[in-house]
A and B are shown apart, each in its own frame.
Chain A
């Protein structure tokens, strides 16, 4: 059986190669991040290779987006063809755009199927430099069983969430579960904390750090109140170790059954309900809580695929990018990995909805999403984000209160801006 499949694949590959005419089989260097998505990244690449008669060389890259960006900057800065394609975070087109190939000649209008805002974000100096693979907006995960046990509603505001988490944590600990916590999120000093903290201040009505005109707006009482609330969680309903947790760090605690709530991206859904999870079938998903003025907020995330300008096989690499960002691949990603498609039609696909019943609500989450100020700050975004996550980290670790930390942040951002962004 296996042999026949093999032969079939080989012959298909050969036919495709022959049909493709003069084009030679090439090997593409494809990055796949460690962690939860590695298996499907590798499978996608192999599927493409088999259907096109090319081959792929999987390069393992870091899970942490900050570290991945550092790696890509070095590879691209040296004009190396070590990677033919790159996975690009939603905030990177401004930073990496100069090194990415224009995909316009290859897409044949495929970009028209995707959400307009995402495609707009993927332009750099008027060129389409990346195609969206999936979009992302964080959600609040909660323990259905625990809320039922203590007869608590799904929290709508941060205040309710704090109260419910405190109550259940206390009761569970008295019950003998002494490692129980109320809420875990991402607070390591890295890009993930920028996402978390932006949601707090935005849902409190504190804006989005820097507005569209480049004005630094972050130093306001509403933002300070949001950070102070978050600071009050640490040590009470949140373990202090959260200051060193990334997405996976938080997921481990929640999935191990040691937290009532978790802020995370939708990818954790499939894993939390997978084999070996202590909370299988016990979790629910809801939009992140609202601030005092009734505003939901979720930082817009998502990953794109781009072609390195220094690739020696631009057209083959572009074909790969279109394959893995296409409808079939996105449909698969939604079903297997719980990823949010960027193609609107897939939100009505019955198989996708069966695997992810919460996708029906994701429209609302996406509509309330807030973008990080990456377009307006361009190449300086990373410095801005670094100062912002450090400001949040200072409050969470109890070294400063919200107001002091934000006024310090404002003067640092002014220094980074100089005369203009």
Chain B
């Protein structure tokens, strides 16, 4: 498809070759010699992979399986040792003329909706802004190194800290944002950004965009720096308008990197927790899936029900990410374009 990605993937494949033997490549060679070598390579591969797989099984696999298991029980935090298996009751159960469980809880669906809303707007806006920032930083100008470092600051501040900071800046009585907008006559009276039902989701998106745009910019900038110069020289010789160059040359070339960056952000945004928890009043208006799960697990001590919510959250993140990867035909195994 394009030279850069082939080049990049070529190196990747070369680097991986000793660890990932290709059995189909053995055709047409001396069989005995090849299978001996191949067996040895497989053994080495397993030798290198085993520690990591054991590590992953402990830190990711076991907690995940246990959460899924607990989601089928009625465990509570006050007495965590004794619980019984309740099947799908935490998800959906018909009892005494009413439907109970997660799937019958309107608040759960509200939290799903809020999460998707925040994710969609936040990821879209920060992708566009990130690319713009990266294009600016890609240009040569004095002090570029300093600006590149400075722009990373929002990403480097822990979310808890930046959420508190924004909470103060957006405060209805003492906040600098209201003061600024009042002075500029954009608004006539102070707005309670973090609680007003009309502004609160937008506020969350705005702060999230502020925080994560540097991440998108950084990944895009890395992709921009890998681009071959000759395409641009050819475009310049042909006298193509820069905007056309961007859409016809730059964007297709950085698309693989951009797609990966968006996957990262998608995973992050769907699990959004700290920003919502710190910045807002935590009413039902702004509840997101992670906040819902935490509330059940911790505030209400319902380990079983909360685990079921966490499981659904996991499935949603997993499903949406798969869907996105499928839709963008992203190749995660690095095998390149066939």
A240 touches B172 (CB 8 A): yes
A390 touches B284 (CB 8 A): yes
Per-residue contact bits, chain B 292-335, to A (CB 8 Å; 1 contact, 0 not): 00010011110000000000000000000000000000000000
B98 partner residues in chain A, CB cutoff 8 A: 415
Per-residue contact bits, chain A 389-401, to B (CB 8 Å; 1 contact, 0 not): 0100110011100
Distance A65 CA – B192 CA, assembled complex (angstroms) = 23
Distance A179 CA – B295 CA, assembled complex (angstroms) = 36
Task: Tell me whether A397 and B285 are in contact in the complex, defined as CB-CB below 8 angstroms, given that A70-B299, A73-B301, A241-B192 are known contacts.
Answer: yes
Task: Tell me whether A77 and B282 are in contact in the complex, defined as CB-CB below 8 angstroms, given that A66-B299, A241-B172, A241-B173 are known contacts.
Answer: no
Of B78, B79, B190, B282, which one neighbours A189 at CB under 8 angstroms? B282
Per-residue contact bits, chain A 182-195, to B (CB 8 Å; 1 contact, 0 not): 00000111100000
A379 partner residues in chain B, CB cutoff 8 A: 76, 78, 301
Q: How large is the interface on A (under 10, 10 to 19, 20 to 34, 35 or more residues)?
A: 20 to 34
A243 touches B282 (CB 8 A): no
A240 touches B173 (CB 8 A): no
Q: Which of B12-20, B38-46, B143-151, B193-201 contacts A (4 or more CB under 8 A)?
A: B193-201
A240 partner residues in chain B, CB cutoff 8 A: 172, 191-192, 195-196
B78 partner residues in chain A, CB cutoff 8 A: 73, 77, 95, 98-99, 379
Task: Tell me whether A189 and B298 are in contact in the complex, defined as CB-CB below 8 angstroms, given that A98-B79, A241-B192, A243-B195 are known contacts.
Answer: no
* Residue B111 lies at the interface, judged by CB distance under 8 Å to chain A: no
Per-residue contact bits, chain B 186-215, to A (CB 8 Å; 1 contact, 0 not): 000011101111000000000000000000
B283 touches A390 (CB 8 A): yes
* Residue A253 lies at the interface, judged by CB distance under 8 Å to chain B: yes
Task: Tell me whether A244 and B299 are in contact in the complex, defined as CB-CB below 8 angstroms, given that A98-B78, A415-B100 are known contacts.
Answer: no
Min CB gap B181→A, angstroms: 15
A239 touches B77 (CB 8 A): no
Distance A370 CA – B257 CA, assembled complex (angstroms) = 61
Of A98, A179, A393, which one neighbours B284 at CB under 8 angstroms? A393
* Residue B280 lies at the interface, judged by CB distance under 8 Å to chain A: yes
* Residue B124 lies at the interface, judged by CB distance under 8 Å to chain A: no
B281 partner residues in chain A, CB cutoff 8 A: 187-190, 243-244, 393
Q: List 7 A-B contacts (CB under 8 A).
A: A70-B298, A99-B78, A241-B173, A258-B173, A397-B196, A397-B197, A415-B100
A-B pairs with lowest CB-CB distance, top 9: A241-B172, A189-B283, A243-B195, A241-B192, A240-B192, A77-B77, A244-B281, A70-B298, A393-B283
Beyond A239-B190, A241-B192, A386-B295: 6 further Cβ-contacts under 8 Å? A70-B298, A77-B80, A188-B282, A239-B172, A243-B192, A244-B192
